[in-house]
Structure 1
Amino acid sequence: MLKRLFDVVVSMVALILLFPILLFVAWLVRRYLGSPVLFRQVRPGLNGKLFEMIKFRTMRDAFDHSGNPLPDSARMTRLGSFLRSSSLDELPGLWNVLKGDMSLVGPRPLLVEYLPLYSPAQARRHDVKPGITGWAQVNGRNAISWEQKFQYDIWYVENQSFWLDCKIIALTLKKVFVREGISAEGEVTMSKFLGEKPPRKFAILGAGGHSRVVADTAECCGWTDIEFFDDNWPSTKFAGHWAVVGDTQTLLARFHEFDGVIVAIGNNEIRRLKMDELSKGGIVCDSLVHPSATISRYATLGAGVVAFAGVVVNAGVKIGDGAILNTGCSIDHDCVLDDCVHVSPGARIAGAVQVGRMSWIGIGACVRQEISIGAKVTVGAGAAVVNNITDGVTVVGVPARALSK
């Protein structure tokens, strides 16, 4: 009752005080965009009940040769952009508030065609009246993703209060002057909602500590449904908070269920063996690149590579299958890393370095430019490699020297 009383009083006073501005904007729209002045469209309101929403028109009429409307970017005008960025196009919506179809604050009313696309959680946005502004509008408006928008809408439904409404109105006024989040990047309006994306199933072979970091990276890359497999199953039942559901043979039998597969085993030789086993079963491993990693578009990554947070790979680099590029390591231009190389956190490899298959570069190690490192080499933590290294050697120290056998 307090919310409705607030809506009526504020909308009525605003319509009276802003009447000269409404008339002036209507005149501008009529002169530069033509008739009709108002944009009218049926939208779903409280409990999905339909109503006619009104706004000032912001786009011109423009059609292709077949009579279909041109894209929004071709129909948007300078006047329309100004009306949207200043939120002046929303002022007629105060009439919808006064009538009771809308509230000053609530989830924005979306298109009727979206109704069958909502998940049960997303449909909760209709548990309250739609609003001229809302929690999503003050947290990014059209510049955020649909998933984020619905999360904000549902949060508002669950936490609405008079004081929250006052906070949202105050933040809205601030946003009007700052003009943030008017449109999604690369678009003049919000992109079309196509429905909730189906879960992307991802299989991880290996359940050790390394695999949990891989799983976290997979989630950061958008994989939403992750299952673990490990040959110690069923004695190994969990990898962190993820359940282990089978072994390698289980994965081979079920791999058609998954959209992606990776071997997440830190030991280079075992990782190579498991990748070969999956390959014989027709499985090509996927690669994962953390969103914060910087991989040059002129670099080449093989299958089953994982690049963790903060990794830098420069132009001309070639990374073989199954390589691990661990947190914060960097690989400079024109390096070649063979299959199943493991570069540990913070390691630095300078330009034009060759690293043989299944070698391990330790934590914080540094490799001078144009060095050749053989296969199955172990470079100790903090070592500084300034000379070429032959196959199967372990080197430590500054400068790095081979350990005595």
Structure 2
Amino acid sequence: MTLKQAFGLAVLLASAGGLVWFYVFLLRRSTDPSRFLAKSALTVVLLVVGGYGIARLMLAGGYIAAFGGIPATAVLGIILTIIWGGDIAGLFARPFENLFTGGGDPPDPEPFYSIARAKRQRQEFDGAVEEIHVQLERFPNDFTGLMMLAEIQAENQHNLTGARGTVERIVAANAANPRNCAIALNSLADWHLRLDRDREAALQCFERIRDTFPGHQVAMEATQRIAHLPPQEMLDQQAERRKITLTEQPRTGIRNPSEIQMERPEETTDEAVARLTGHLELHPQDRDAREELAARYAEDLREIAPAIEQLEFLLRQPGQDRGNMVRWLNTMADYHIRIAADVKSAEAALDRIMKKYPKSPAAEQAGRRRMLLGRELKGKEKSRDVGLGSYERDMGLR
């Protein structure tokens, strides 16, 4: 074989390979592969039969070739155009169509839980569990399905052991997703409190969130749940059925206020401060207690330094969300204005918002408030003057 022949053979093989690749590409892109294969078979038959007939006409030469071969070739071309015209046009038009339709690729498969939800609503809990397991066979780590399974086990089948096992499966599958782990463990803790009256088991769930994801927002939320856990005695009392005695009352239409109101001993400011301080010694990261203590210091005792200290403690804690941070700094600025009439300290608090969250809505609001602090201070002073004048007039001094 000469070099020229080898080169020609290589070109022929490359062309054949390119045609085969292009055909497979079109077959995969086709919306109806069986129809595409049928048209391919018809095309082969037309090319073989028509090509053979046209070749004989053309080889005859003369008028036969001119008035027979050329029209036959045109007819064959028209037939092939009718067969493949739509596919060829779609090949070029589909990229522009995909710009509006999002592409012709099928959507990603997703689990289907409508049947399970419907059976749960009909109280067919075993059937709902079976339907969930059918979906979990295809999507074994699907968070939605596993949480639904745990809910049915705990709330409907009263199988807290099974629900605990499902939650452990969720935690193992979502080790890199703190939010999903926290949702599962928080739900398990709620079931322990509500269904089992087991404070210790719930506490273990919250402590697990706190210790597994330190510094994350879910850890801070778990710390708040720990600080507000009810004592075991309260849970035991809720579990007891209370007997209610109904007595006939005269139908006068008027009820004794003692029947609808409970007398609660009023708590003095000093007692509240002592209670909150003792609570914070046990649960130092309790947000609600520290905010209440800061308000007691500022609003009741008019002591701004310890109030600011409580807010600064909260600001230093890791895992706090933006909303709380902005609210505490705004509260700090409010105390500086209303209690101490200290514009510079209020400006410094608002500057911290703008520095920590630049180009955010919170920073824009802080900037607008900073510009109006002087007017805000004058408004506080004016309202205080009006109050003093009214008091003096009521006392007969004016």
The higher-RCO structure (CA 8 Å, 6+ apart) is: 1
Determine which structure has more spread, i.e. the larger CA radius of gyration.
2
Give the TM-score, by structure 2 length.
Answer: 0.25
Q: Which structure has more strand as a fraction of its residues?
A: 1
Q: Which structure has more helix as a fraction of its residues?
A: 2
